[in-house]
Structure 1
Amino acid sequence: MGELSNNTEEKVLLVGCKLFETSEERFRYSMEELASLTKTAGGKVISTVFQNRHSFDRATYIGKGKIEEIIPLVEELEIDVVIFNDELSSSQVRNLNSQISARIIDRTQLILDIFSRRAKSKEGKLQVELAQLNYLLPRLVGQGHSLSRLGGGIGTRGPGETQLETDRRHIRRRMDEIKEQLKTIVKHRTLYRERRKENRTLQVALVGYTNAGKSTLHNRLTKADALEEDLLFATLDPLTRRLKLPSGFQVLLTDTVGFIQDLPTTLVAAFRSTLEEVCEADFLLHVVDCSSDDYYNHEQTVLSLLDELNVKDVPILTVYNKRDNMTSNFIPSEGIKSIIISALQEKDLEKLLKKLEEEIIVTLQYFEAKIHVSEGKLIAKCSSSAIIEKQTWLEDEESYFLSGYVSPDTSIYKQLQEFKV
């Protein structure tokens, strides 16, 4: 399915169902996020409809009266797509399709659609296809009616119509193929990571809610050229660059896919290998957008997803970003290490690098060594692979006295032991 051209924005009607147990605030943020996701997918929100209920209608998600309200609205406003704020079952989609003339998609399909547009690497594309097939498999029954309407647009990218119309066996076979290909890619990445670990470059991963400013921060710190957009899920493929700290010590900084509330489990599973970069990190920078009214929920969502990924005992520095637009109700969380910055301010970036170095020092081993001038290679290596606190030239001995911090897992640590004072 081809992508929409920029000038053919599809007209979208958003539909949400607020259960009585859900707070007004959480529901509002969820609907605002759905609107942002729609914008990212190239749609234009024309109108929004929502209903308060004790539980979702098993047959049609919303009640009969609401559907009767939507039918003329779709005609009047010439709506192309109706997007529902929760995941719909195949029978709900079928029943809604039989009454509403516009294309029906749900939140999961919308996210998959964005992933389909954004993924650039081979791994990213395979992960998306796997997630889409995973989503489609239980929904194959009753796809016929909606397939007859597919003509490109939001919710239709990725596996084409012919793939959807083939039987379950074919889709399962394709899923197995993708899993094998992903295993190979993950294997290669694991080997690459092990090589990095042998040379023991410290790994720092940027994590955070989607659109918190991770890519902007990554670019400003490493002078890289990752995609920077004010859109949800702008980054899907992990990007790693070298980062020099104030002392000259070098680390690897990885930008990762953004986290999101109520991320469908099929997506967490499909993107687990992309998020492995997070699991392997020595240090995490948790970026939180303090200009968002919903910053606290975003922060908690990321922490609970890290928990799901079993990321434990990894030091975290919380970076409250976008301080220039900070919301009036912002209060930093207590009991955590944090810093408030704007990724666009050079002085703030310097402050962040200094703070990051201080936090990394805590995880390293202190050393003192006297190294003869003939060991030039080792002296040079110390400046990038260790944090040097003091360096003194001892003229009588033609040696350098060095003191500082180094990771005990590195080869340089073993070498420095020979020159220990």
Structure 2
Amino acid sequence: MHTVTDELVEKAILVGLQLGSSGGWAVEDSLNELRLLAESAGAVVLGSEIQRREHPDPSHFVGEGKAQEIARLCEEQQANLVIFDDQLSPSQLRHLEEVIPVKIIDRTALILDIFAQRAMSREGKIQVELAQLKYMLPRLAGQGTALSRMGGGGGIGTRRGPGETKLETDRRHIRERISELEKEINTVQANRQVQRAPRKKNAVPLAALVGYTNSGKSTLFNALTDAGVLAEDRLFATLDPIVRKFTLPDEREILLADTVGFIQKLPHELVAAFRGTLEEARYADVLIHVADVSHPQLIEQCAAVNEVLGEIGIGDKPIIMVFNKIDRLPSGLLLERLKRDFPGSVAISAQTGAGLDEFKRVLNERGLPKRIAVDLLIPYKEAGIIAEIRDSSSNQVEQEEYLAEGIRVKALMEQPDLGRVRRFVTETRD
């Protein structure tokens, strides 16, 4: 007997393609990740289908025969949703819909659906809606059909970002909405530039946490800043960026940014849409790449992160490699190999606190400009210089002595700040 609740549950079949030339992720591993994504969005996964071929079928992606098999499987298992592990072209989607009589979405639509659930800030909501509309626009059927079965009935892959009540199927209306959202995004980003100005003036360094989704970035962020950010064992628990201040061992203050996690097969347009969310990483002085050392696809995940960093133009920034979740490792053999393969990396458990002191020390040494110990003799008429030195969180006044000829100051200063006080320097110390 079927209940109303049964009919509302989205029961999914996953479909993956193993290409002859593909490297990196095995199709089984990629489908395991797709399963986690689907479950995170609220679906019940009934099973999966894999096809191995040299190239995707230009018409049906998996070929018409395989599509017919999937249709029969949906009928047998009473599935009402099929999720493909790669992005489908508009024509592939239309041809598949002619064969498979249930809703069809691809990996991109699924990720966008999760983003729609997670977005909390105004900017995040705008970005989700903008990305969804840009994704859906070319998938509108030629005769005005509302996204065919892909959009029929709502649910996973069609969830609207907060603030949007319906999808206008008219292309002109969608383009107008896209234009409006792009203007809003530009305004939000301009406001953030204004907010960032005092930070630049005070020369407060910024470090940004980057990494694969669910690698433990938010747990590390909380451990360092006591921010209380949501840190869950699920994909894309963090979508909106957040910045907090914390103090390093040498008492310098630094800003730390938590950013959205990356994932493999992240389409270019999705990266472009969320470029604003990743702005803090783009403006950071140093990136902290957090990786889940216990994950079977550790190396592949690291490669996916580096690929996205390169795509958004920040792959050449200084990076501190942090291997997280060492408490989940059965032995230290893997860590020994990683230490050899990734010189200068740090191993931690953000959950237990193991290795955090070492991480802070490394961040102190490599993440910030080196400070130079200087002795200054400042005339009384120039005493305002001392306040300027104190105003920068990068510098530290250690001692002041008032003499007849002026004020003797012992301070720790970063190299870029020395220019304005160089005429008062009497000695530099190691």
TM-score (norm 2): 0.85
Contact 1:241–1:254 under 8 Å retained in 2 = yes
Deviation sequence 1:73-109 (CA, Å, 0-9, x none): 2123221211001111222222222332321100110
Equivalent position of 1:32 in the other structure: 32
Q: Distance in 1 between matches of 2:165 and 2:147?
A: 12
The one-letter amino acid of 2:373's match is: F
The unaligned stretches of length 5 or more in structure 1 are none
Equivalent runs, 1:191-270 vs 2, <5 Å: 191-270=194-273
Change (3 A) 1:393 1:163: closer
Q: SS state of the match for residue 260, structure 2?
A: coil
Q: Distance in 2 between matches of 1:382 and 1:38?
A: 52
The one-letter amino acid of 1:360's match is: G
Q: SS state of the match for residue 50, structure 2?
A: strand
The one-letter amino acid of 1:77's match is: Q
1:402 aligns to 2:410 (yes or no): yes
1:153 aligns to 2:155 (yes or no): yes
Q: SS state of the match for residue 355, structure 2?
A: helix
Equivalent position of 2:352 in the other structure: 345
The one-letter amino acid of 2:410's match is: L
Match 1:368 to one of 365, 368, 374: 374
The one-letter amino acid of 2:320's match is: L
1:179 aligns to 2:186 (yes or no): no
Shift of 1:46: 1.4
After TM superposition, the structure 1 stretch with the greater mean CA deviation from structure 2, 152-161 or 196-205, is: 152-161
Q: SS state of the match for residue 135, structure 1?
A: helix
Q: Distance in 2 between matches of 1:346 and 1:371?
A: 44
1:124 aligns to 2:124 (yes or no): yes
Deviation sequence 1:229-276 (CA, Å, 0-9, x none): 111111111100001111221011000111111211110110112212
1:163 aligns to 2:135 (yes or no): no
Q: Distance in 1 between matches of 2:8 and 2:185?
A: 35
Shift of 1:17: 1.4
Match 1:355 to one of 349, 354, 362: 362
Q: Distance in 1 between matches of 2:37 and 2:423?
A: 54
After TM superposition, the structure 1 stretch with the greater mean CA deviation from structure 2, 348-357 or 115-124, is: 348-357
Change (3 A) 1:15 1:364: same
State the Cα RMSD in Å.
3.1
Shift of 1:224: 0.5
TM-score (norm 1): 0.87
Shift of 1:392: 5.9
The one-letter amino acid of 1:32's match is: N
Q: Distance in 2 between matches of 1:407 and 1:326?
A: 41
Change (3 A) 1:10 1:106: same
Deviation sequence 1:196-229 (CA, Å, 0-9, x none): 1011111111111111111111111100022211
Change (3 A) 1:262 1:369: same
Equivalent position of 1:300 in the other structure: 303
The one-letter amino acid of 1:13's match is: I
Q: SS state of the match for residue 408, structure 1?
A: helix
Equivalent position of 1:136 in the other structure: 136
Equivalent position of 1:278 in the other structure: 281
Change (3 A) 1:416 1:287: farther
Shift of 1:41: 1.0
The unaligned stretches of length 5 or more in structure 2 are none
Q: Distance in 2 between matches of 1:360 and 1:12?
A: 45
Change (3 A) 1:63 1:149: same
Deviation sequence 1:133-186 (CA, Å, 0-9, x none): 111111112544735972232111116785242x21111111111111111111
Q: SS state of the match for residue 320, structure 1?
A: strand
Q: Distance in 1 between matches of 2:119 and 2:217?
A: 17
Contact 1:365–1:405 under 8 Å retained in 2 = yes
Q: Distance in 2 between matches of 1:248 and 1:347?
A: 21
Q: Distance in 2 between matches of 1:236 and 1:377?
A: 42
Q: Distance in 2 between matches of 1:416 and 1:369?
A: 10
| Overall identity of the aligned pairs, in % | 40
Q: SS state of the match for residue 127, structure 2?
A: helix
Change (3 A) 1:379 1:343: farther
Contact 2:374–2:411 under 8 Å retained in 1 = yes
Shift of 1:403: 4.4
The one-letter amino acid of 2:42's match is: G
Change (3 A) 1:369 1:60: same
1:334 aligns to 2:341 (yes or no): yes
Q: SS state of the match for residue 163, structure 1?
A: coil
After TM superposition, the structure 1 stretch with the greater mean CA deviation from structure 2, 61-70 or 146-155, is: 146-155
Contact 1:369–1:416 under 8 Å retained in 2 = no
